[in-house]
């Protein structure tokens, strides 16, 4: 809801600060007083085209600031602001500011954060609808008609959206499977060759490292075999070192009792024999481990070469060959079992498509029934608004299957025919601005609280009508405002003005060659005097004041 509007240096407005309340607010004034300037200023704040002609003569820039109640969490507007990193402080209003220079350059701000004019227009579309000469959004845009009808029908579109997502997801999986099988089919011969080759090779994870280590060990054995043999000879036979040590130990054992040093020598000799035995054992183990076998070395090198050559061929590490074998075999198996897999995916597509069609058809039926109710409700509003010859129709048209989407299978558009026998046409095709505004009012009243911005502005909706029709317009504006909307009506009709919960008068004043436009809120006596002026013209009579009093009493 619009809570405040501050304007500086816009055309004839030098400085203006206005506060607004909920309900119906009316703006009146003499023809040419500057009511359009006020709407131009608000339009500038809402992202409309920046025209340097709006800058007041003699000023270097103009500025408009509009304050709105913050959007409720979870709403589309709140999500839009969050997506664009526009901070909303708890309890603080949403501030829109637009500055315009004489050279046509402009800057826009949301809560004092710079933003683009495009974002400003998008945000403005959620906040305000302007119907009249400034109308370029709201009910004239067919893109929003379907959502309004769904809200009027209390339709649950989430089920259709979910069914559509499941359907498209199943189609995507089927197409991916077909593409994979098609690719594999093209490579069948290559796959068969590779899998057969790898299976013959039968690589094992870690085999490359094992073979490399074995080859290195055997190569070392070949190099040191001679030295190791010579060393082992010193340990073997009756003349070997260990045998001589044992013989010496036996003789020393007979003498050890003769002297303490001999006993210590025997102990040392025993340890030497043990160490010599352990050394001999290690040498034999090393000889076996380093045993050089030309056939074994050649076999290890051949296997290692085959593994590494195969790894280079497929662009992987040797340890990845076993996994590659499984992957290629799986691709080959997918070709063989592809038909069965595709059949399951095709069945899933058919099943989800049927579920979507069922849900979308039910939604379409609900829309058609709601459209009939809406047409009847709008028709009931047309005659009191002097549109009794006009007809309204909610078109619910089945789209081609390729255009079905998460919103269903229908295109929805509001159509009107203003004369008997005339064909139905879109709302925007109506020639008369006043007639269009009254049509929109009728539709808004029929839709009541369903969708749209919280603030709605009707610019001279009463143009060309008076008397009972003007009273009917005022009653419907007040009724719509009572349905949770804030309405501002620019009017020349005293009957409409009398229905307002608040009343602003727009007046032009001159001082020498300087002309200014001002706006002020009226108190009850001021309202009576302004409505009396609207009734009587240039000279306000007592009879006009009495009639104004009666109009205000009816309210």
For 291, phi and psi rounded to 5 degrees? -60, 125
Q: Which of 130, 27, 109 is nearest to 63 (CA)?
A: 109
Residue 32, number of CB atoms within 10 A of its CB: 9
Q: Which residues of 251-282 are buried (b: 16+ CB within 10 A; e: fewer)?
A: ebeeebeeeeeeeebbeebeeebeebeeebee
Residue 106 lies in a domain: no
Residue 462 lies in a domain: no
Coil, helix or strand at residue 119: helix
Instruction: Give the model's pLDDT for residue 185.
Output: 75
Residue 518, number of CB atoms within 10 A of its CB: 17
**What is the torsional sign of CA 135, 138, 140, 141?**
positive
Instruction: Give the model's pLDDT for residue 66.
Output: 94
d(CA 65, CA 107): 12
Bridge pairing between strands 502-511 and 486-490: unpaired
Residue 207 lies in a domain: yes
How many domains does the chain contain in total? 1
Low-confidence ranges of the chain (pLDDT < 70): 33, 132-138, 219-230, 232-234, 237-238, 286-293, 336-339, 430-434, 448-452, 538, 554-555
Instruction: Give the model's pLDDT for residue 136.
Output: 45
β-partners of residue 504 are 27, 521
Cα-Cα-Cα-Cα torsion 541, 543, 548, 553, nearest 10 degrees, comes to 150
- Within 8 A by CB and 6+ apart from 79, the residues are none
β-partners of residue 411 are 397
Q: What ranges in 239-293 are assigned the alpha helix state H? A: 241-255, 260-289
Instruction: Give the model's pLDDT for residue 224.
Output: 64
d(CA 345, CA 176): 10
Interval 355-378: pLDDT, tens: 999 999 999 999 999 999 999 999
Residue 257 lies in a domain: yes
Residue 331 lies in a domain: yes
d(CA 120, CA 86): 12
Residue 461 lies in a domain: no
**Contacts for 275-279 with beta carbons within 8 Å, 24 or more apart?**
276/235, 276/241, 276/242, 276/245, 277/242, 279/235
Instruction: Give the model's pLDDT for residue 134.
Output: 46
**What is the torsional sign of CA 167, 170, 176, 179?**
negative
User: What secondary structure letter does DSSP report for 34?
Assistant: S
CA-to-CA dists, residue 443 to 105, 350, 449, 531, angstroms: 38, 40, 11, 28
Domain range enclosing 219: 188-336
Instruction: Give the model's pLDDT for residue 223.
Output: 64
Coil, helix or strand at residue 502: strand
**Both tokens assigned to 495:** 């009957």
Residue 285 lies in a domain: yes
Instruction: Give the model's pLDDT for residue 442.
Output: 84
Instruction: Give the model's pLDDT for residue 554.
Output: 65
Coil, helix or strand at residue 345: helix
Residue 100 lies in a domain: no
């Amino acid at each position: 809801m619009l809570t405040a509007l501050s304007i500086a240096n816009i055309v004839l407005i030098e400085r203006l600060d206005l506060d607004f309340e909920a309900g119906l607010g009316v703006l009146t004034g003499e023809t040419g007083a500057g009511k359009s300037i006020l709407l131009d200023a608000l339009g500038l704040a809402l992202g409309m085209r920046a025209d340097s002609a709006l800058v007041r003569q003699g000023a270097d820039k103009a500025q408009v600031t509009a304050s709105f109640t913050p959007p409720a969490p979870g709403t589309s507007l709140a999500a839009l602001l969050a997506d664009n990193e526009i901070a909303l402080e708890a309890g603080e209003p949403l501030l829109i500011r637009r500055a315009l220079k004489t050279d046509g350059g402009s800057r826009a701000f949301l809560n004092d954060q710079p933003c683009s004019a495009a974002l400003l227009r998008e945000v403005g579309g959620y906040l305000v609808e302007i119907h009249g000469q400034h109308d370029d959004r709201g009910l004239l845009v067919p893109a929003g008609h379907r959502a309004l009808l769904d809200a009027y029908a209390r339709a649950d579109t989430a089920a259709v959206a979910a069914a559509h997502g499941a359907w498209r997801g199943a189609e995507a999986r089927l197409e991916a499977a077909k593409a994979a099988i098609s690719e594999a089919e093209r490579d069948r011969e290559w796959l068969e060759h590779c899998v057969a080759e790898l299976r013959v090779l039968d690589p094992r994870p870690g085999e490359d490292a094992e073979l490399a280590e074995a080859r290195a060990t055997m190569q070392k054995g070949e190099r040191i075999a001679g030295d190791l043999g010579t060393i082992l000879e010193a340990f073997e036979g009756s003349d070997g070192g260990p045998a001589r040590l044992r013989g010496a130990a036996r003789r020393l054992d007979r003498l050890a009792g003769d002297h303490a040093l001999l006993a210590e020598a025997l102990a040392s000799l025993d340890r030497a024999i043990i160490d010599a035995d352990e050394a001999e054992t290690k040498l034999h183990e090393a000889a076996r481990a380093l045993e050089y076998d030309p056939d074994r070395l050649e076999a290890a090198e051949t296997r290692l070469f085959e593994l590494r050559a195969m790894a280079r061929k497929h662009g992987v590490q040797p340890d990845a060959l076993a996994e590659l074998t499984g992957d290629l075999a799986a691709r080959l198996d997918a070709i063989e079992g592809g038909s069965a897999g595709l059949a399951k995916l095709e069945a899933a597509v058919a099943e989800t498509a049927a579920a979507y069609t069922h849900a979308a058809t039910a939604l379409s039926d609900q829309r058609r029934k709601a459209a009939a109710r809406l047409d009847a409700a709008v028709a009931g509003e047309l005659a009191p608004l002097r549109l009794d010859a006009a007809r309204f129709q909610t078109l619910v048209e089945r789209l081609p299957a390729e255009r079905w989407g998460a919103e269903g299978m229908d295109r929805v558009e509001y159509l009107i025919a203003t004369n008997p026998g005339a064909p139905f046409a879109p709302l925007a095709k109506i020639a008369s601005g006043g007639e269009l505004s009254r049509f929109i009012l009728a539709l808004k009243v029929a839709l009541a609280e369903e969708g749209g911005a919280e603030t709605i502005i009707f610019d001279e909706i009463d143009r060309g009508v008076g008397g009972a029709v003007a009273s009917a317009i005022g009653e419907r504006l007040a009724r719509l405002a009572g349905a949770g909307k804030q309405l501002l009506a620019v009017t020349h009709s005293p009957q409409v003005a009398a229905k307002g919960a608040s009343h602003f008068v727009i007046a032009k004043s001159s001082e020498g060659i300087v002309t200014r436009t001002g706006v002020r809120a009226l108190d009850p006596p001021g309202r009576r005097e302004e409505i009396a002026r609207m009734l009587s013209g240039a000279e306000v009579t007592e009879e006009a004041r009495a009639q104004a009093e009666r109009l205000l009493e009816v309210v």
